Structure 1
Amino acid sequence: MLQSLKQWFGAKSPPALTSMLPTDAETNPLMLQFFTWEALHPELSWWGHFDEEIPRLAELGITHVWLPPPNKAAATDGRGYDAYDLWDLGEFEQKGSIVTRWGTRDEFLSACKKAKQHGIAILIDAVLNHKLGADRAETFQAVRVNEKNRLETKDKPREIEGWTAFDFPGRGDKYSSFKWNQNHFNGLDWDQRTETKGVFRITGGSHKGWSKNVDKELGNYDYLLGLDINYSDPAVQEETKRWAQWILETTGAAGFRLDAIKHIDRQFLISWLRHARKTSPMGNGLFAVAEYWSGDVRLVLPYVKAFKGKAAFFDVPLHMNLHHASTHYSRYDLRGLMHKSLVEARPKDAVTFVDNHEVEGQSLESWVGSHFKTQAYAIILLRPEGYPCVFYGDLYPGTECSHEATQVNLTKLIRARKLYAYGPTTHYPLDKNCVGFVRMGDPKHDGCAVILSNKEDRDDAFIHTIRMNVGRKYAGVIFHSLLTEGGEVEIDADGWGSFTCFPNAAQVWVKEV
C-alpha cells in the first residue's frame, strides 16, 4: 500500500511537515489547541489567560499554539467561526461590542508577542469559507436548490432579498476599504422577502454557480452555512490574500489553521497559501494545517495530494479510530488502531489529535471516552509518526469536558514526549487487547517502553506483561513506571525487561522519573 501511495503521490508532493517543522530542534515539537467551544475564563479575558499561561506552556514543550479565530464575530459572544469582519481583532464598536469573545486587539497582540519571545509559534484560525452578520439586505436573483443535492434545483430563479451587504460602519476603511455585496457570494440560507429558510444559489450577473473545486458530498459541498464566499471573483481573491499578509505581519504568527476546506475552492486555497509564503519572511516554513473532516482516509488523500505539501492535514481518520476504540472497549482490536489513518499512509502530512472543539458536543460529535484518553494520547505523543496536537479541554481542569485523571496523565505524557520519545520504534503486539512499543532513544535522549490496554477485567489480580527489549546499553538498569508510583523493572544483560500494565490503562516505563 505504501509503495503504491508513493507512486500515486509522485515526486511533486513533498510531505508538508518536512519543511514546516524545524529539523534541528533538540526536543520534539508539540501543538496545543488553546480553547474549547465554551471557553471563557472566570477572571481574565481569554487572551489574558493565554498570556499568563505562556511560560508554563513553553516549559512543557509546546512549540505551536492554535488559537481561536481572533476576528469579530456576528454574535457578541461568537467564537469567530461566525465570521463578520476578519480585520477587526477587537478594536472597533461592531456587532454590539468592541471586544471579541476572546478579548481586545491589544491583549491579543501582546500575548502573540510574548509567545514568540518564549519560542512558541502562533497559528491563526483562518475562517475563509463564509461570512455572517451582514449590515444590509440586497435584492438579487437566486434559485433554491435541493439541500441533499446542491446540483439539483427545486424551482426557477426568482428575486429574493438576502443579507449580503457588509459596510463595516464601526471600522470604516481602516486596514481595508473593501465592502462585500451579493456579487461576492455564491449562496445563502435565508430569503428575507418570503422569510424562507433553505439553500439558495445566487444567479445572474457575473455569478458562475458553485465552485467545481470542492468536495462532492451532497453533489457539491461548496455551500456550508451563512453566506458562501465566491472565490471566482478576482476582487475577493485579492482581498483575502491581503488579509493573510496583514494578519501575519500584525501578529507575528507562524501560520494558519484552515477551517472547513472541503467547502472552499481548493485551487484558490493553494494559490492563497503560495501568496502567504511568498510575502512572509518564513517562506516555505510558514505552517499550515487544514481541517478536512472525514473519517475515510480515501477521501482525505486526494486533498493531501492536491495541496502538494503546502498544508498538513488533521488526521480525522485516526481520531475516528480512537473514538471507535473507546466505544467498543475490549471488542476493539488495538493492533489495528493505526489502520486506514492518514498517519499510516502519509505520516509527514498528518497532524494527529485525540479530541478538539469540533467533537465537543457539536454536530460532528465523536468524543473519545475518558477511559481511553490516556491510551489515545500515549499513541499520538510517544510514537514518532505525525505531529500531535493536544486539546485544551484535556489538559486544563475546570472545563466543561475536563477529566482529572486525563489531565494528570496527559501532563506526564507530554513530559515523556519531551524527554524520552526518541529514536527507532520496535512494536510488540501482545494480543488484541494489549500492545506495546519501545522508543530506543538517541544520543541525547533515553528511550521509553509503552504499553496500552483496553481489556475490561474485574479480576483485580490480573495484569498485562510484555517482554520488550530496550537495548543492551540499559543492562542492569532499573526502569520506573511514569504514570503510577512504585513500579520497577530490571533490564537483563541483553536489554530485555518484563514490563507490565493494568487492564484498561496505559503505562510508560523510563530510566528515571
Structure 2
Amino acid sequence: MEILKRLWHTYNSPRDSTTLSSLDTMDLGPTKNTENPVMIQFFTWDCKHPEMSWWSFFEKTVPDLESLGFTQVWLPPPHKAMSKNGQGYDAYDLWDLGEFDQKGTVPTRWGTKSELLRAVAVAKQHGIDVIIDAVLNHKLGADQRERFEVTPVDPKDRMKEIGPPRVIEGSTRFNFPGRGSKYSALKWNHNHLTGVDWDHTTKKREVYRMANKTWSSRVDDELGNYDYLLGVDIDHNHPEVVKDLLAWGNWVLQTTGGNGFRLDAIKHIDRQFLRRFIQHTRQLTNRPRLFVVAEYWSADIKRVMFWINAYGGLASFFDVPLHDNFWRASEAGPRYDLRKILANTVVSLRPKDAVTFVDNHEQIGQSLQSWVLRGFKLHAYALILLRDEGHPCVFFGDLYPNKECYDAGTASGLRTLLKIRKNVASGPVADYWEDANYIGWVRRGRGHKICAVIISNADPASSSKPHSIRMFVGKGHGQDAFKNAFAPRSAGIKLSGDGWGDFTCIRGGVAVWTLLSNIAACV
C-alpha cells in the first residue's frame, strides 16, 4: 500500500519547474537555429490549395516560413486516409504516403509521396525541421468485414457491460490491396483490435468491446475508460501490432526526413506502449533528442499534470489549459482579469514541458469548440511569442489566407509579433502585472535586443486615454528612442536616466516597444 501511495504522489504532484524536463532534452529546430525556436501547424481542417498539392504549397512557402523565424513545421498526417479527401485522422494505411492506388487515389489529400519528400528536403535546406503527425489510436476504411464476438458496453461508462456477448459483423480486415506487403506484411483483422462501434448485421451503433479482451488500464479514465474513441480501436498490447507500429516509427522518419512526432489523441492510447514507441524510435534512429509533442485534450490542469508526469520527460504537451484561458478571456472581454491569464496552465507550472498555442484545426466546426475570438487573438499570441516560457506553436489559419478563419488584420499583426520574436525578443521576463485590464512585461536581452510589451482588454469606448505602465528596460538607453512596432509612425519615448520608461498602449490593444534601430526588422 505504501508503494502505491508513493506512485500516486509521483504521478499527481507537479515537479519543480527547474527539473530537467522534455523541452530541455529535445531539438526544437536544427542545431544551427536554436534561438527563439517556434513551430507552425501548417494546415487547417479543410485546407486545400486550388492550383497545387498541399505538399507543393508547403515547399513554395518554406522561404517565407524561414524569414518569419520558424524552426519547426507540424505537417498533417501524411498517410493514406479512408477516403480520397480524408485528412488522415481517418487513418487507413500508415505505410502509404501517397504511393499506392488505394481508396480510389494514389496521392493523399495532401499530395504524393515524392512531393512530400521534396518539400521536407527543401525545408531542411532552409533550417526548418518537420514534425510528423502520428495517428496511432485507431483505423478506418477496412477492406473486408468479419464476424466475431463482442460485448456491448455503456458508451458513458465503458467499464459497464450492458448485455451478454454476441456475434456481430464488423469492418475490421485491412488487406491493403494496392500496397500488398511492401514495407509491412501485417494484414489487420479483429484480433488486432479491442473495440468497434458498428454492427453491419443489425445496423446498430454501440460501443462494442472484443469479447475476449479488456480495455487498457493505462488510458484516461474519462467515460470510465477512454480506450475506445472511434473507428476500430487498435490493441496496443498485441505483439504483431506493437512490432508493426514500432517499425513504422523508424521507417516514416527515415523515409521522409522528419525530425519528430506530434502524437494524436494520447488519452486513448496505452501510455506504456507510447513510452516504448518514443524510446524505441529514438534508439533506432540514433536521435536521442528527437522532438515529441503529445495531444492530451483537457483544460483540467490536474489531469494534464498526471499525464506529463506519467511520460517522465519523454514528450512535451500542448498547453490546453492555457488555450482554454485564452478562449475564456476572449469571450469575457473586460470582465476577465488578465493577471490570471497564466493561472493553472502547463506553462506556469512546468514551462519546460509546455507547447503553447492559441488555436488549432480542432476548433473550427469540429469536436472542440473553443475558438479564441478575433479581438483577443493578438493578445494571446503576444503571450506565447514574446515571453520566455514554453515552446510556441502558431496556427496556419491565423497566418495565411484560408476559407475557414482568416482575418487579414490578425495575420498582419501576427507577422509583426513573429518578426519581433525573431529579432528582438531575448532574455528573461520581468512582469508588471498591476491591473486587471492591462498587463506588461519586459524582455531585456544582450545589446539592443529589448522589447517592452503591454496588452489590454479594456473597452476602447470607456476612455480615449491610453494605459501607461512604468517599466525598467535597462540603463544606457537614455538617449535612444523607443517605438511601438504596432504604431511605428507615432511618437516615440525616451527613458529616464535610471533606465525606466512610461510605456503606453491603447485600450483593448497590443503594444510592443523596442529601440528605433530595431523597428525596420519588426514591421
Shorter-chain TM-score range: over 0.9
**Residue equivalent to 1:343:** 347
Q: CA deviation at 1:438?
A: 0.4
Does residue 453 in structure 1 map to residue 456 in structure 2?
yes
1:166-210 CA distances to partner (integer Å, 9 max, x unpaired)? 000010011111100000000011011111111100113xx3x10
**Residue equivalent to 1:48:** 56
Q: Secondary structure at the match of 1:167?
A: coil
Structure 1 contact 13–305 (Cα < 8 Å) conserved: no
Cα distance in 2 between the residues matched to 1:306 and 1:460: 49
Does residue 463 in structure 1 map to residue 463 in structure 2?
no
**Residue equivalent to 1:254:** 259
Give the structure-1-normalised TM-score. 0.96
Whichever residue aligns with residue 353 of structure 1, its letter is F
Whichever residue aligns with residue 304 of structure 2, its letter is V
Q: Flag structure 2 segments of 5+ consecutive residues without an equivalent.
A: 1-9
1:20-49 CA distances to partner (integer Å, 9 max, x unpaired)? 136874631010000000110111110010
Identity %: 51
Distance change in 2, residues 1:12/1:456 (3 Å): closer
1:116-154 CA distances to partner (integer Å, 9 max, x unpaired)? 111110000000000000000001100111000000111
1:440-498 CA distances to partner (integer Å, 9 max, x unpaired)? 1125x511000000001315622111111110121221101101232311111111111
Q: Secondary structure at the match of 2:194?
A: strand
Cα distance in 1 between the residues matched to 2:499 and 2:147: 76
Cα distance in 1 between the residues matched to 2:90 and 2:13: 41
Q: CA deviation at 1:398?
A: 3.5
Cα distance in 2 between the residues matched to 1:234 and 1:86: 18
Cα distance in 2 between the residues matched to 1:10 and 1:415: 32
Q: CA deviation at 1:11?
A: 11
Q: Secondary structure at the match of 1:134?
A: coil
Cα distance in 2 between the residues matched to 1:334 and 1:280: 44
Q: CA deviation at 1:362?
A: 1.1
Cα distance in 2 between the residues matched to 1:438 and 1:11: 21
**Residue equivalent to 2:127:** 119
Cα distance in 2 between the residues matched to 1:151 and 1:94: 36
Does residue 275 in structure 1 map to residue 283 in structure 2?
no
1:354-412 CA distances to partner (integer Å, 9 max, x unpaired)? 00001122111100000000100000000100000000000012431011111000000
Q: Secondary structure at the match of 1:144?
A: strand
Equivalent residues in 2 for 1:100-499 (5 A)? 100-204=108-212, 207=213, 209-282=214-287, 284-443=288-447, 446-459=449-462, 461-487=464-490, 488-499=492-503
Cα distance in 2 between the residues matched to 1:29 and 1:54: 16
Structure 1 contact 123–257 (Cα < 8 Å) conserved: yes
Cα distance in 2 between the residues matched to 1:102 and 1:47: 6
Cα distance in 2 between the residues matched to 1:41 and 1:239: 33
Structure 1 contact 380–388 (Cα < 8 Å) conserved: yes
**Residue equivalent to 2:20:** 14
Report the more deviating stretch, 485-494 or 65-74. Answer: 485-494
Whichever residue aligns with residue 27 of structure 2, its letter is L
1:266-317 CA distances to partner (integer Å, 9 max, x unpaired)? 00000110000001132x2100000000001100001101111110000000
Structure 1 contact 13–309 (Cα < 8 Å) conserved: no
Cα distance in 1 between the residues matched to 2:400 and 2:276: 38
Structure 2 contact 27–290 (Cα < 8 Å) conserved: no
Structure 1 contact 12–308 (Cα < 8 Å) conserved: no
Does residue 27 in structure 1 map to residue 35 in structure 2?
yes
Cα distance in 1 between the residues matched to 2:400 and 2:233: 35
Distance change in 2, residues 1:458/1:28 (3 Å): same
Q: Secondary structure at the match of 1:223?
A: coil
Cα distance in 1 between the residues matched to 2:208 and 2:153: 6
Which aligned segments of 4 or more residues in structure 1 are displaced greater than 4 angstroms? 4-8, 10-13, 22-26
Tell me the C-alpha RMSD between the 2 structures.
Answer: 1.7
Give the structure-2-normalised TM-score. 0.94
Q: Secondary structure at the match of 1:188?
A: strand
